[in-house]
Amino acid sequence: MPADDEESWVIRLLAPPAAALPPEVRVGIGDDAAVLADGRVLTVDTMVEGVHWDARSAPADVGAKLALVNASDVAACGAVPTLALLSMSLPNPVDRAWVEGFAEGLREGLAACGAALIGGDTTRSAGGVVVSLTMLGQLQAAPLLRQNAEVGDDLWVSGTLGDASLGFATSAPEGLRALRRPTPPLALGPALAARGLSRAAMDLSDGLATDLPRLCAAAGVGAEVWPEALPASDELRASGADPIPHQVGFGDDYQLVFTALPARHDDLLALGADLGLRLSKIGRVTQGPEVTLRGHAWPRSWQHFPGPQ
């Protein structure tokens, strides 16, 4: 299980105590999105040139990905995206062709998730391009919250893990597609909540090695992950690479990790068939706080502020 990192320290420093939150806030800092008492959810994601994308991504890819990764956070709480606000910082002079491509992709991404852009802000950047999207959504049932994971629950993930990592490392075609334009399972979170199949879920943006311990910490539980059960694409399996570092340590999967009662196993497989999604049981929730990968050391995870190697 990874040690605490600088990002977590910053978040803890900024987070107000729960008692200080206004009454209209049901869930504040510490989940995929803030949850309001009226059923709305709010989240924000920022993408920075040279950190979140490079020259291999077209401007339209950046715009579409910005919309989809925000929608992934909203859906992870069991909500449906509705509205968005955009902030852009652009170097001078403005690269109009880049902005036109970005705008095209952003429109495509927002259309795919059903959200409308209603405002934002544009300013000059002293460095590269920085784009940030705030997205609102509406719950369809009780929210899926990290704190709701319970000992004895099964652990599940959607889709396959490690594709974006493989694309980043090798430029494998399907991996690059996953890296440039992720396809988060936006219908899954709301369906899990509406059918009462799960109470705890999280969007896998920073990788299982980082995100699963965050979910477990919020609930005061641990977890055991079974490496042989981790789902991999044909491209990752055919690459000859050890799949574990890709599947667990990198991130950018934008799949859903969620918990469920063992008795709901067949119901979850039926839901996956209904939605056309691959759902895989990958482990179980245990007494906390240890999070383990059975038979393996816990992989090094992605960090925004890595320390000395």
Tell me the domain boundaries of the chain: 27-139, 146-293
CB count within 10 Å of CB 11 equals 13
CATH class of 146-293: alpha beta
User: What does DSSP assign to residue 153?
Assistant: P
Token pair in block for residue 232: 């991999």
Q: Which pLDDT value is given to residue 66?
A: 97
The larger pLDDT score, comparing residue 299 to residue 307, is at 299
Q: State the alpha helices, DSSP H only, in 159-260.
A: 163-170, 173-180, 188-194, 208-219, 234-238, 243-244
**210 touches 2 (CB < 8 A):** yes
Q: Which pLDDT tens digit goes with each residue over 11-66?
A: 676 766 766 778 888 887 778 899 999 999 999 999 999 888 888 789 999 999 99
Radius of gyration of the chain (CA): 19
Span 220-231, mean pLDDT? 97
Predicted pLDDT of residue 71:
97
* Three-state DSSP class for residue 268: helix
Topology of the domain covering 27-139: 60s Ribosomal Protein L30; Chain: A; (3.30.1330)
Q: Is there a contact between 43 and 58 (Cβ–Cβ < 8 Å)?
A: no
Give residue 252's pLDDT.
Answer: 92
Question: What confidence score (pLDDT) does residue 226 get?
Answer: 97
- The DSSP bridge partners found for residue 28 are none
- Give which of 252, 234, 66 is closest to 243, Cα–Cα: 234
**What are the backbone dihedrals phi and psi of residue 244, each rounded to the nearest 5 degrees, phi first?**
-60, -50
Average pLDDT score over residue span 89-107: 97
